[in-house]
């Protein structure tokens, strides 16, 4: 079960970074913060089950593309966050994650969980229990990230968004490098 908890913590880190950025930058109300945490937790719980369900037969096809998908989505979202932080600096209003952008962020931060789903049988754990744990840990850390970000407030908002953008681009590059043999 320790392996499952460590997996859950590792998979939740990028969602935590995005939630922290959103909290610092936009100080979302209770409902919006809950939407962020539920979206990230829900995607993180569903994606390992999807990976587990697809199974070993499709693994070679997914494994050939998952790193490119993760790289593309995380880089897009990270560059968008960096651009929004620049807009904020010059006085333009950036948008908080909601609707379609929130769903894209949920998907982008959970691509690794899809690949992790293929490894669930190797952990000798119940896939439903592990997916639930991953979702719960991600929800809790995302919720905490939003509220820690709210405490940071405007002082760190643009910097937190830049850091979140750089982290997301870095995560995308790391995934790509690992899967293409450069790490």
What pLDDT digit, counting tens, does each position of 88-123 carry? Answer: 554 434 568 889 989 999 998 898 788 778 777 666
Tally of domains in the chain: 1
Q: Which domain does 47 fall in, by range? A: 2-180
The 3 state secondary structure assigned to the chain is: CHHHHHHHHHHHHHHHHHHHHHHHHHCCCHHHHHHHHHHHHHHHHHHHHHHHHHHHHHHHHHHHHHHHHHHHHHHHHHHHHHHHHHHHHCCCCCCCCCHHHHHHHHHHCCHHHHHHHHHHHHHCCCHHHHHHHHHHHHHHHHHHHHHHHHHHCHHHHHHHHHHHHHHHHHHHHHHHHHHHCCC
Give the tokens for residue 70: 């993760």
What is residue 93's predicted lDDT score, i.e. its pLDDT? 40
- Contact present, 48 and 114 (Cβ < 8 Å): yes
Of 168 and 112, the one with more pLDDT = 112
Q: Is the pLDDT of residue 82 over 80?
A: no
What is residue 92's predicted lDDT score, i.e. its pLDDT? 38
List, for residues 6-17, the tens digit of each pLDDT value.
888 888 888 888
- The Cα diameter of the chain in Å comes to 52
Alpha carbon distance 84, 162 (integer Å): 9
Averaged over 64-75, what is the pLDDT? 73
């Amino acid at each position: 079960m320790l392996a499952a908890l460590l997996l859950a913590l590792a998979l939740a880190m990028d969602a935590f970074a995005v939630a922290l950025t959103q909290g610092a930058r936009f100080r979302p109300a209770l409902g919006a913060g809950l939407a962020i945490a539920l979206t990230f937790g829900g995607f993180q719980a569903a994606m390992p089950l999807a990976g587990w369900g697809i199974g070993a037969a499709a693994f070679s096809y997914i494994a050939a593309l998952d790193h490119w998908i993760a790289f593309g989505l995380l880089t897009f979202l990270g560059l968008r966050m960096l651009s929004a932080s620049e807009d904020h600096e010059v006085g333009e209003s950036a948008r908080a994650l909601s609707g379609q952008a929130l769903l894209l962020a949920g998907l982008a931060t959970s691509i690794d969980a899809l690949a992790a789903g293929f490894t669930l049988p190797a952990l000798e754990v119940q896939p439903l229990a592990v997916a639930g744990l991953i979702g719960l840990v991600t929800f809790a850390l995302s919720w905490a990230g939003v509220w820690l970000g709210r405490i940071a407030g405007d002082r760190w908002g643009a910097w937190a968004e830049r850091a979140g953008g750089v982290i997301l681009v870095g995560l995308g590059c790391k995934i790509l490098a690992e899967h293409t043999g450069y790490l």
